[in-house]
Amino acid sequence: MTIAQDLIGRAERRQALFGIVGLGYVGLPLAIELANAGFRVLGFDVQQNVVDGLNAGHSHVKDVTDAQLQTAVRTGRFTATSDMCRLAEPDAVSICVPTPLSKFKDPDVSYIVAATEAVKQTLRRGQAIILESTTYPGTTREILLPALESTGLTVGQDFFLAFSPERVDPGNAHYGTRNTPKVVGGITKDCIRVAVALYQPAIDTLVPVSTTEAAELVKLLENTFRSVNIGLVNEMAIVCDKLGVDVWEVIEAAATKPFGFMKFLPGPGLGGHCIPVDPHYLAWKMRGLNYKTRFIDLAGELNTEMPLFWVRKVAEALNGQGKAVRGAAVLVLGIAYKRDIDDIRESPALDIIHLLEGQGATVSYADPHVPAFTEDGHEFHSVALDPATVAGADCVMIVTDHTAVDYHMIKRHARLVVDTRNAMPKED
Ligand SMILES: NC(=O)c1ccc[n+]([C@@H]2O[C@H](COP(=O)([O-])OP(=O)(O)OC[C@H]3O[C@@H](n4cnc5c(N)ncnc54)[C@H](O)[C@@H]3O)[C@@H](O)[C@H]2O)c1
């Protein structure tokens, strides 16, 4: 029996031990889904407080409840550790570490490099390594493969190497790790077969592609598609504003076309760890090949300008009431980058607050999912969203529309509303 067949058999019998490196928004849900499928999972994270919290049954990721985590911990299916030497134990290691941008919007693959280095230290025959972090095409082959083969082990024979992009959509009640089809590309054919077999028990649909580059590019196409279409619809919002046409009416009417149109919504700009970040990974890679990715750059430009567009709308609205931005009390409603989640990474609300404060406004915020946050050393605490607070603001600016917010109450009590997300009820 080859080691590929052995690993595939262990996966089918749920006897393979999984290691998940990086227990954040992506790694933790994946770990719990694998545990639910019957695997034992060893989670690795460099943050000791994250590890301790998880072992004590406290989930720091909204998509995983404490009850789900506690079941996995109690049954011995999930344990977290910060001891990277234990990376020798798992048969399969999925790497789910962050891939941010540097100050100059270049890829920062330092977390991938560090995780690869840790995996390399204990790499042994019969292990499968699967990178999940979103990254530019070529990363698996150019960074992981040489590092892992420097141990003297050979890919496809001694160990297996694959890339499988995570598609988690935090806060999505319909699609989670299990029922979202998962793309898998490998360095060799056996790498693909092994990776597919490992994920099969936990994921309903697997989509094998021929190379790791194809799998890396799938994720970047998906996120670039979103960025470009959001850029387009944001531009349409600016166009409609200048023409005095209701952009929401136009979009809803266009969306009645049963083919050839896909509805995207304008808003305050892009946020989160993915859509504003990932396309730059591809743009960077292509710059190195003397190709300028024009759609990516243009969409990035349009989406980045949206906070400024909306701050201008606040200024105009205040002006209409004979008030200046300077000295105005502005209540920003919703600070998370999208509905019903607690993640503020890259949130356009932060830019909006910064711009408003820069123009002399006194800014407070309310967000049922984000009780407090720190930005540039300045601590912010969510105010209570009650009639008195709403009535006390010169302007309420809706940035993220959360389900838990009572917009009828806001409509009744606010002196002025600027709504970037069309959240306000149209009729009482
Ligand atoms: N958040 C999303 O919605 C989402 C969706 C799809 C893909 N992704 C991609 O998945 C990857 C992970 O994103 P995330 O949102 O889960 O990040 P995250 O910041 O929530 O979690 C990453 C975790 O990795 C840990 N870590 C960092 N370096 C480590 C190392 N060397 N060893 C062990 N642990 C380490 C961190 O402590 C952190 O807990 C990124 O590439 C991201 O682009 C994210």
Per-residue confidence in pLDDT tens, the chain, 428 aa: 899 999 999 999 999 999 999 999 999 999 999 999 999 999 999 999 999 999 999 999 988 999 999 999 999 999 999 999 999 999 999 999 999 998 888 999 999 999 999 999 999 999 999 999 999 999 999 999 999 999 999 999 999 999 999 998 888 889 999 999 999 999 999 999 999 999 999 999 999 999 999 999 999 999 999 999 999 999 999 999 999 999 999 999 999 999 999 999 999 999 888 888 999 999 999 999 999 999 999 999 999 999 999 999 999 999 999 999 999 999 999 999 999 999 998 899 999 999 999 999 999 999 999 999 998 788 999 999 999 999 999 999 999 999 999 999 999 999 999 999 999 998 75
What is the residue with the minimal CA distance to atom 27 of ligand 1?
A: 97
Ligand 1 pocket member 136 (CB < 6 A): no
What is the residue with the minimal CA distance to atom 36 of ligand 1?
A: 22
Ligand 1 pocket member 26 (CB < 6 A): yes
What is the residue with the minimal CA distance to atom 21 of ligand 1?
A: 24
Ligand 1 pocket member 31 (CB < 6 A): no
382 DSSP 8-state letter: P
**What is the whole-number distance in angstroms between the Cα of residue 22 and the centre of ligand 1?**
6
**What is the whole-number distance in angstroms between the Cα of residue 45 and the centre of ligand 1?**
10
Asked whether the CA dihedral 334, 335, 341, 346 is positive or negative, the reply is positive
Ligand 1 pocket member 170 (CB < 6 A): yes
**What is the whole-number distance in angstroms between the Cα of residue 82 and the centre of ligand 1?**
15
Q: Give the number of the atom of ligand 1 that is nearest the alpha carbon of residue 44.
A: 33
* CA-to-CA dists, residue 112 to 200, 340, 377, angstroms: 25, 29, 28
**What is the whole-number distance in angstroms between the Cα of residue 200 and the centre of ligand 1?**
22
Nearest to 95 by CA among 153, 46, 158: 46
Taking only the tens place, the pLDDT of each residue in 401-418 is: 999 999 999 999 999 999
Ligand 1 pocket member 27 (CB < 6 A): yes
Angle of helix 212-243 relative to helix 294-320, nearest 10 degrees, comes to 30
Give the pLDDT score at 428.
58
- 121 vs 405: CA distance, rounded Å: 49
Active site residues: 274
Q: Give the number of the atom of ligand 1 that is nearest the alpha carbon of residue 50.
A: 39
Ligand 1 pocket member 43 (CB < 6 A): no
Please check whether residue 194 is in contact with residue 8, taking contact to mean a CB–CB distance below 8 angstroms: yes
**What is the whole-number distance in angstroms between the Cα of residue 75 and the centre of ligand 1?**
25
Ligand 1 probe mutation, 44, 45, 51, 113, most atoms within 8 A of CB: 45
Ligand 1 probe mutation, 273, 275, 339, 340, most atoms within 8 A of CB: 273
Q: Which residue shows structure tokens 């979009």?
A: 251
How far does CA 124 lie from the centroid of its chain? 32
Ligand 1 pocket member 219 (CB < 6 A): no
Where do the H-state alpha helices sit in 257-403? Answer: 278-287, 294-320, 348-358, 387-392
Nearest to 185 by CA among 167, 165, 168: 165
Give the pLDDT score at 1.
83
Give the pLDDT score at 252.
97
**What is the whole-number distance in angstroms between the Cα of residue 260 and the centre of ligand 1?**
35
- Token digits of residue 102: 């540097």
- 173 vs 208: CA distance, rounded Å: 26
Ligand 1 pocket member 163 (CB < 6 A): no
**What is the whole-number distance in angstroms between the Cα of residue 116 and the centre of ligand 1?**
14
369 DSSP 8-state letter: T
Ligand 1 pocket member 25 (CB < 6 A): yes
- 27 vs 38: CA distance, rounded Å: 17
